[in-house]
Amino acid sequence: ILNVEQSPQSLHVQEGDSTNFTCSFPSSNFYALHWYRWETAKSPEALFVMTLNGDEKKKGRISATLNTKEGYSYLYIKGSQPEDSATYLCAPLGGKLIFGQGTELSVKP
Amino acid sequence: DARVTQTPRHKVTEMGQEVTMRCQPILGHNTVFWYRQTMMQGLELLAYFRNRAPLDDSGMPKDRFSAEMPDATLATLKIQPSEPRDSAVYFCASGLGDSQETQYFGPGTRLLVL
């Protein structure tokens, strides 16, 4: 079973700030890493699926990097907006998908 | 706009009653996942089907939970008998291929067992 840690647990930033958070996972038995965005009272929405060491993916102002050798992934948000407020979940796949507890992002106007 | 649908959206029941939750995956998707969201555990995988066959249900309490796919357009999660500790939001997700592919989540069924 993969132990997934996400940090920080919560983050409060001002509109326009750039931010990043971390997903850590055991580097052995790795197949893929998913990032999801989860707004309150809605269902998780897929952001990225990453499989290769060194992968970088981008979607608008959000980007992610992956280091499978050391077991971490970073999610970056450039110029945060209030609509970015959500919980960001990572889920590495090692046999089965295990979700982290998430980083709760709050962006104040 | 294809999306995963789940019914019911909300369910309140009494301890000991049977609960059946339904999921309609996106047409053409061949993998279906059932997740449970609780405050303590976060989002945990209960069961996983590919081409209607159960591949992994190790996250599911076997004594009271059962998951099936009677056909490609319907997945069910049943709890019998239900207990207060089963109160949670149950999400269904579907995808193409396997867990390496993007999963599309339904709106969830919010279950409260009194």
Give A47-75 pLDDT, tens digit per residue. 999 999 999 999 999 999 999 999 999 99
A26, amino acid identity: P
- B105 neighbourhood in chain A, CB within 8 Å: 43-45
Please indicate whether, in this complex, the C-beta atoms of B102 and A46 are within 8 angstroms of each other.
Answer: yes
Per-residue pLDDT, averaged over B77-97, amounts to: 94
Q: What is the mean pLDDT of chain B?
A: 91
Contact with chain A for residue B95, Cβ under 8 A: no
pLDDT digits (tens, 9 = 90+) for B11-63: 999 999 999 999 999 999 999 999 999 877 778 889 989 999 998 888 888 89
Q: Is the pLDDT of residue B101 over 90?
A: no
Contact with chain B for residue A98, Cβ under 8 A: yes
Report the relative pairing of strands A72-77 and A10-14 from DSSP bridges.
unpaired
The most confident of the ranges A27-31, A98-102, B4-8 is B4-8
Report the relative pairing of strands B109-113 and B10-13 from DSSP bridges.
parallel
Inter-residue contact B75 to B34 (CB < 8 Å): yes
Inter-residue contact B56 to B48 (CB < 8 Å): yes
List all residues 6 or more positions away from A41 whose beta carbon is below 8 Å from its beta carbon.
none
Higher-pLDDT residue of A31, B83: B83
**Angstrom distances, CA of residue A55 to CA of A67, A72, A73:** 8, 12, 10
- Taking the mean position of all CA atoms in its chain, how far away is CA A32? 13
